[in-house]
C-alpha cells in the first residue's frame, strides 16, 4: 500500500525576521495540501535580544557557541517568542498548529556535541526522532511546529541546528510516510553565481555537488545544509528541495532539487 505524503518545511531566519515575508509564507503553508510539519530557527532574533541583555554572541565558522546564558536566551526566543508567534499566526489561518521543542512528548532526543577542536557548549546532535509520538499529533490533525531546541533525555535542553532537525525528522517520519523536505529561504535556490539571483542550479546530485565544492560555488553555511539533504535522501526521504517560499506551489518550478 502506498504511504501517505508528508511535507516537512524549514523556514530560514530572514523570513522569520521580516513580518511581511513571514505572513506571505504562512499563507502558502496553510494552503499546502496534506500532512505537514514546520521547522524554524530564529538565530538573528536571539542574537539581537542577547545583545540587548548584554550577552555576547560567539560564533565559529557560522555556528553559535551556546553557553548557559546563551541557552537561556535561545530557549526564550526560539521556544517562546518566535514559536508562539508562528503558531498564533497559523491559528489565524485556521491551521491547528502546536508549538514544540524536541523535549515535548520526547519527540527529538540529542546528545551534547563532543568537544574536539572547539567546545560548542550546549549544542545537540540528533540521536533519535520519536516518530510514533509525532505521528499521534499528525493523526489528530494537529500541525507540529518545531523550534531548534532538543533535549538529552536527562533534563538538559540543547541548541540544535534547524536544518539538521528538519532532515532527521523527515528521516524518522519516513518509516510511516512518503516524506519530502522543503528548505525555504530568501533566495530562489542554490545559485551558480551569487550575484545573479536568477542563476538557480535546478538539480544537484552527488557528482555535481563534488564539482560545485571544487569550484567554490557552494561554500560556508550552504555546505552543511546540502550535506543534510544527501543524508536525508540516503536514509529514506523521497524528495528534497531548496528555494524560496513559493517553491511548493504548483506555479513555481525555479528552485533546486537535490538527488543522489
Which residue ranges are tagged as binding site for substrate?
A: 42-43, 64, 159
188, 200 contact by CB (below 8 A): yes
32-42 exposure pattern, b = at least 16 Cβ within 10 A, e = fewer: beebbbbbbbb
Q: Mapping DSSP to helix (H, G, I), strand (E, B) and coil, where does residue 55 land?
A: coil
Q: List CB contacts of 120: < 8 A, sequence separation 6 or more.
A: 60, 63, 64, 65, 66, 113
Give the residue carrying C-alpha cell 520526547: 106
- Rounded to whole angstroms, how far apart are CA atoms 84 and 46? 15
Nearest to 252 by CA among 25, 1, 17, 23: 25
If one counts every other C-beta atom within 10 angstroms of the C-beta of residue 84, the result is 14
Binding site as annotated, residues: 42-43, 64, 159
Amino acid at each position: 500500500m502506498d504511504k501517505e505524503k508528508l511535507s516537512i518545511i524549514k523556514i530560514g531566519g530572514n523570513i522569520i525576521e521580516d513580518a511581511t515575508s513571514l505572513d506571505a509564507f504562512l499563507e502558502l503553508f496553510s494552503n499546502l495540501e496534506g500532512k505537514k510539519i514546520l521547522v524554524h530557527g530564529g538565530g538573528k532574533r536571539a542574537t539581537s535580544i542577547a545583545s540587548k541583555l548584554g550577552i555576547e554572541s560567539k560564533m565559529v565558522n557560522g555556528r553559535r557557541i551556546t553557553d548557559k546564558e546563551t541557552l537561556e536566551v535561545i530557549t526564550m526566543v526560539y521556544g517562546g517568542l518566535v514559536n508562539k508567534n508562528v503558531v498564533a499566526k497559523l491559528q489565524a489561518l485556521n491551521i491547528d498548529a502546536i508549538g514544540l521543542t524536541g523535549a515535548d512528548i520526547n519527540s527529538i532526543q540529542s546528545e551534547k556535541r563532543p568537544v574536539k577542536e572547539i567546545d560548542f557548549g550546549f549544542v545537540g546532535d540528533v540521536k533519535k526522532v520519536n516518530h510514533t509520538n509525532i505521528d499521534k499529533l499528525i493523526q489528530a490533525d494537529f500541525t507540529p511546529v518545531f523550534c531548534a531546541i532538543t533535549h538529552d533525555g536527562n533534563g538538559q535542553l540543547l541548541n540544535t541546528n534547524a536544518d539538521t532537525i528538519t532532515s532527521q525528522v523527515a528521516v524518522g517520519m519516513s518509516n510511516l510516510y512518503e516524506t519530502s523536505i522543503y528548505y525555504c529561504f530568501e533566495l530562489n535556490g542554490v545559485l551558480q553565481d551569487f550575484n545573479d539571483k536568477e542563476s538557480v542550479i535546478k538539480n544537484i546530485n552527488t557528482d555535481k555537488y563534488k564539482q560545485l565544492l571544487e569550484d567554490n560555488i557552494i561554500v560556508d553555511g550552504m555546505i552543511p545544509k546540502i550535506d543534510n539533504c544527501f543524508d536525508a535522501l540516503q536514509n529514506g526521504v523521497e524528495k528534497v528541495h531548496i528555494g524560496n517560499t513559493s517553491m511548493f506551489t504548483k506555479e513555481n518550478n525555479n528552485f533546486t532539487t537535490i538527488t543522489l
